[in-house]
Structure 1
């Protein structure tokens, strides 16, 4: 009986056997993933506050989904990390107070969980084994 998670995500051997996309394709993916991470941060700040607690769960799952997309689309660990960079940079702007006294993220448990837990799905995705042009993450083949 096959594991449904392996069917969805693929096995370790399948992920390591996937070919890397060409360098220009990876660079384009990095730009798209950065923008998706930034957009996810902006949307996540509002969604987690509007539909608490389901919005918080949705925002965290979306962070993980974009990071996993980056991992699989680029075949590198950097692909999982680039959305986090965009997410974090937009989050820094949204966390800063404005002169008028307005703010996007209010003090509350949901906001703290979003800020402190939003990077965790991307970090988990970055630890998964991948193909990499620098052989980082590829187990050594014994002769």
Structure 2
């Protein structure tokens, strides 16, 4: 290490700004909406609905990661999706439920979790500000 620059990963974490927190909360809600839409679309047009639901989730998670320039956007969308889908698996007192006990529902649940984790890790990690460095400048 040279000079007075402290590596980015060695700096203490700060709470996010109000704008970033609002953005992440909005992405959490958007992930929940996509979870509801996917739960309704996937049994209607099987197997095309399943593929459409998973592709929509993947696009939203990747888009949120790119929009926030970090993994936090993708994680917020994935968290909203997972929370909503888990809440939809619970049967209601009337006996109604959203997910039937079939292969399509299990593929949507497990495939959606896998897609969310894979796509959320594709987001860029914390990068230092400044220009790119080259050896032997």
TM-score, scaled relative to structure 2: 0.75
Aligned pair partner of 1:38 in 10, 32, 50 = 32
Q: Structure 2 vs 1, CA of residues 24 and 132 (structure 1 numbering), >3 Å: closer, same or farther?
A: farther
Note if contact 1:48-1:56 (Cα within 8 Å) is conserved in structure 2. Answer: yes
Q: Which residue of 2 aligns with 1:73?
A: 67
2:35 aligned counterpart, secondary structure = helix
Alignment length (residue pairs): 116
Following the alignment from structure 2 to structure 1, what is the Cα–Cα distance between the partners of residues 102 and 18? 43
Deviation readout 1:66-91 (Å, 9 max, x if unpaired): 10111101111121111111111111
Give the helix-richer structure, 1 or 2.
1
Asked if structure 2 preserves the Cα contact closer than 8 Å seen for 1:38 and 1:86, the reply is yes
Unaligned runs of 5+ in 1: 1-21, 136-140
Residue 15 of structure 1 aligns with which residue? none
Q: 1:31 to 1:87 in 2, by over 3 A?
A: same
Structure 2 spans left out of the alignment, 5+ residues: 1-15
Point out the structure with max Rg over C-alpha: 2
Match of 1:50 in 2: 44
How far apart in 1 are the matches of 2:97 and 2:123?
A: 39
Other structure's SS at 2:42 match: helix
- Look up the match of 2:8: none
Picking from 101, 105, 113, the partner of 2:95 is 101
